[in-house]
A and B are shown apart, each in its own frame.
Chain A
């Protein structure tokens, strides 16, 4: 790995693995640069923190726009660029880029079916050291309720690459929910093919199903490995698409194992668990369902890894949830 600039290190100084994460950010920039080499219609917008654009900033200066600390303006500017045929990627801190811009996203971007890509970095507890202002645990609920929005949650960088490429020609907006661990995690050995509206089964199993997003996928895989040693077969599904959602995968899990645990670094209201519950309810599909995520209460503030541990979004935490679910009567 080449030496990172001070600026690059600063960008992710909040992360325990700052160097690794900054390198991944640089990789996003490299990927978007490569895409623009091929297409010529990709633009990248940031609201300060331009380092997240990586090499795109240097290689495509006519298509790179830093709008300063002004997120709402950034989102509307992106809408204007998209109206003129460009595919703008807004790369903003999710707490401001999504929550603060919800109205611009709905009114300027989504209502007009414009192809803005909203890459929300630092979702969940990823920026939790800085205070409650920096938690982003409502974004899925908001994004998925916006008409015309596609919502994806890459569980690792390969999934991100897959989703960027497979959605690039979609006429409407796409919300990329980058979880705190997704840029570092390793779920896929290579770039997977993720079809629109499909979940990915990353581990087959027959006793219980975990449907997870982001770093929850890695935690679930770890828990599945432990339980395999005890003779319990855990199916792990990566809910890469939250909208459109893979109803068939949910219904198959209900029929196949009848025990579903959802894992997400999001408020338990309005996110993945809610989505799964809606599908089960809509289809009157009988299944046990346990929704595991962040409680709907004032959340603690600390380093992300400490918070993840505190709220149990870890192998141990998921294991405990699974044991409880397995003990329930069908």
Chain B
């Protein structure tokens, strides 16, 4: 798959045309680039990134209003990655959208690289807010959404959290505030892949279900989808209420940790961090992903 050739400065409108095949291919491209970057750096979170590849693809190539090569454009839709350890999948996208030179990817994992395992807004253009401490970004998103209202801008603010992340109490303080302030311009996406970082199945460690009912009880619209199904993701984002509406929306994206590489799907937490694809495994993983590109 080749990089996009959109002219610098052009506005990428909300809901812009993209076929299911194109968005699916883009998700696979994200997976391949993630493998490349982890291979280059010697470490990174494959399975946490693979679970959100379709979400990234649809958000950045269909749903969000952006401006090519202008990551700070004031009317862009904002995206905050609460589960910051999946930032590696964003870097190829940001380079492709002209937010920084593609050559920056070559330095990923080296001392002084502006692109880091968790995203840093001060170094990586396109990063709307830094993350790394789970549970903060929904609060920050509330602040950005409130600023949108105060500054009379109609941007949307998307915050992608992990399902383990919502075990953090601050998430629920933010959820309470979002509905209290009527933030229809705020969209939380929970990457419900069922696994947290260290102790395996999220709800075995600490039950987080029923996620939709919990957000609903906090005054949010909720929609539950298969987050690895392009058509379902597109439909959910296409049907978001207007940013001027008064109820925040939570998209519970049921995903598979390690989606797209069988050995990871079968042992998602073994591939959370610390394990590298090498030799025949590396070839097999790449072949598996490439075989799905249409």
- Using a CB–CB cutoff of 8 Å, the interface residues on chain A facing chain B are 43, 62-63, 65, 67-68, 70, 72-73, 75-86, 88, 103-104, 107-108, 111-113
> Are B176 and A77 closer than 8 Å at their CB atoms?
no
Asked whether B150 lies within 8 Å of A77 as measured between CB atoms, the reply is: no
Interface string of B148-189 (1 = CB under 8 A from A): 111100000000000000000010011011001100000000
A residues in contact with B150, CB < 8 Å: 43, 62-63, 81, 86
Q: How far is the CA of A211 from the CA of B144 in the complex (A)?
A: 41
Query: Chain A nearest CB: distance from B126 CB in Å?
Result: 14
Q: Are B136 and A81 in contact (CB under 8 A)?
A: no
Q: Considering the chains assembled together, what is the distance between the CA atoms of A315 and B140 in angstroms?
A: 45
Stretch at the interface among B127-135, B236-244, B267-275, B286-294: B127-135
Query: Judging by beta carbons under 8 Å apart, are B133 and A84 in contact?
Result: no
Specify which of A67, A81, A107 is in contact with B133 (CB 8 Å cutoff).
Answer: A107
C-alpha gap A108/B133 in the complex (Å) = 9
- Supposing A73-B139, A111-B130 touch, asked if A80 and B170 sit within 8 A by C-beta, the answer is no
A-B contact pairs, 18 of them (CB 8 A): A65-B181, A68-B180, A72-B173, A73-B139, A73-B177, A76-B139, A76-B142, A80-B129, A80-B140, A80-B141, A80-B144, A81-B146, A81-B150, A83-B140, A83-B144, A85-B151, A104-B136, A108-B140
Q: Complex Cα distance A321/B180, Å? A: 53
> Bound state CA distance, A103 and B147, in angstroms?
22
Query: With a CB–CB cut-off of 8 A, which chain B residues contact A104?
Result: 136, 139
**B176 & A112 in contact (Cβ 8 Å cutoff):** no
Q: Which of A70, A76, A113 contacts B122 (CB 8 A)?
A: A113
Determine the main DSSP class of A at the interface with B.
helix
Contact A85 B147 (CB under 8 A): yes
Assess the A81–B170 pair: CB atoms within 8 A. Answer: no
Give bound CA distance, A81 to B148, whole Å.
9
A84 touches B147 (CB 8 A): yes
| Chain B CB within 10 Å, residue with most, of A77, A78, A79 | A77
Contacts of B151 in A (CB 8 A): 84-86
Residues in A whose Cβ lies below 8 Å from that of B122: 111-113
Q: Are A77 and B177 in contact (CB under 8 A)?
A: yes
Contacts of B141 in A (CB 8 A): 80
Q: Quick one: given A72-B173, A77-B177, A112-B130, are A65 and B146 in contact (CB under 8 Å)?
A: yes
Which residue on A lies nearest to B157, using beta carbons? A80
A72 and B140: CB pair below 8 A?
Answer: no
The residue that B143 contacts in the complex, of A63, A81, A103, with Cβ under 8 A, is A81
- Give the top 6 A-B pairs by smallest Cβ distance, nearest first: A80-B143, A76-B139, A84-B147, A73-B173, A77-B143, A70-B173
Q: A84-B144, A85-B151 known; A77 and B136 CB under 8 Å?
A: no
Query: Which residues in A have their C-beta under 8 angstroms from that of B180?
Result: 68
The reply to whether A77 and B121 form a contact with Cβ atoms under 8 Å apart is: no
Residues in A neighbouring B149, C-beta threshold 8 A: 62
Can you name the residue of chain B whose Cβ is closest to the Cβ of A73? B173
- Give bound CA distance, A68 to B133, whole Å: 22
- 4 more A-B contacts (CB under 8 A) besides A76-B140, A113-B122? A67-B173, A68-B177, A70-B170, A107-B130
Q: How far is the CB of A149 from chain B (nearest CB, A)?
A: 16
Cβ distance B182 to chain A, nearest Cβ, rounded Å: 13
Q: Which residue of B lies closest to A63 (CB)?
A: B150
Alpha-carbon separation in the docked complex, A76 to B128 (Å): 14
Indicate whether A107 sits within 8 Å of B143 (C-beta atoms), given known contacts A83-B121, A86-B150: no
Contact A79 B143 (CB under 8 A): yes
Give bound CA distance, A63 to B148, whole Å.
11
Residues of A within 8 A of B132 (CB): 107
> Within the assembled complex, what's the spacing in Å between the Cα atoms of A104 and B146?
18
Bound complex: CA of A65 vs CA of B130, how far in Å?
23
Task: Provide the residues of chain B in CB contact with A76, threshold 8 Å.
Answer: 136-137, 139-140, 142-143, 170, 174
A70, A77, A86, A113: the one within 8 Å of B140 (CB)? A77
Let me know if B170 and A112 touch, CB within 8 A.
no
* Distance of A107 Cα from B141 Cα, bound (Å): 15
Would you call A80 and B130 a contact (CB within 8 A)?
Answer: no
Return chain B residues, CB-CB under 8 Å to A68: 173, 176-177, 180
B residues in contact with A72, CB < 8 Å: 139, 170, 173
Q: Which residue of A lies closest to B152 (CB)?
A: A62
Asked if residues B146 and A77 are in contact (CB atoms below 8 Å), the reply is yes
Q: Could you tell me which residues of chain B, from 248 to 287, have a CB within 8 Å of some CB in chain A?
A: none
> Does B129 lie within 8 Å of A86, measured CB to CB?
no
* With contact pairs A103-B133, A107-B133 given, residues A84 and B148 touching in the complex (Cβ less than 8 Å): yes
Which B residues lie within 8 Å of A63 (CB)? 150
Give CA–CA (A104, B147) in the complex, Å.
19
- Residue in A72, A73, A75, A88 whose Cβ sees the most chain B Cβ within 10 Å: A73
